[in-house]
Amino acid sequence: MNKSEDVLGQEWVKKLLSTPILARLGTANPKNAQPHVTPVWFEWDGEYLYISVFISTRKAKEVSANAHISVLIDGDSPTQAVLLEGEADVIVDPVFVGRCSQSIYTRYVGENDVKGDPYQSWIHDPENRIIRLRPDHAYAWKW
């Protein structure tokens, strides 16, 4: 088992990653390396982290051009956090994107609210994509 698997196997890390809280997605401009950090909704399935994005946004364009990303999840506690790093894929398959977006949005707004707008329009928007990260590195701290 590598270090990332050790980190991701800790119970408090699993609990944090299962909580619908904001994550911070870090990308970099491939031309000048300028960092860009944005809050995002996410879902973790134990192997991959999924983030729904519109391809016209800076974060999505940067991931498409430079797949190296970082994602920080720290919740409400300033004393614990999980940092995931690696190369992401941008998934365009509309069936997968729709199903995954539905799951991410349901996680944050619930079964009833996700059935209405704006969530349904976002889920089915032709610009919607999924950033998928299988972390190469995972770091966690808690004190």
Higher pLDDT, 78 or 102: 102
pLDDT at residue 143 in the model: 80
What would the two tokens of residue 31 be? 């031309």
Instruction: Answer whether CATH 2.30.110.10 is correct for domain 3-142.
Output: yes
**Torsion from C-alpha of 102, 27, 34, 108, nearest 10 degrees:** 40
- Predicted pLDDT of residue 87: 98
Rg (alpha carbons) of the chain, rounded to whole number: 15
Token duo for residue 104:
């991410």
Burial of 101 (0-12, 13-18, 19+ CB in 10 A): buried
Return the higher-pLDDT residue of 90 and 30: 90
Residue in this structure with the two tokens 């909704």, named with its chain if needed: 41
Percent over 90 (pLDDT), the chain: 90
Q: What's the rounded Cα separation, in Å, for the pair 31 and 111?
A: 41
What does the pLDDT read at residue 135? Answer: 98
The reported pTM is 0.93
The pLDDT value recorded for residue 44 is 98
Report the pLDDT averaged over residues 103-117.
Answer: 97
Tell me how far apart the alpha carbons of residues 81 and 56 are, in angstroms, rounded to a whole number. Answer: 29
> How do residues 6-43 score in pLDDT, each as one tens digit?
999 999 999 999 999 999 999 999 899 999 999 999 99
Q: Tell me: pLDDT of 60 over 70.
A: yes
Confidence of residue 57 (pLDDT cuts 50, 70, 90): very high
Domain boundaries, the chain: 3-142
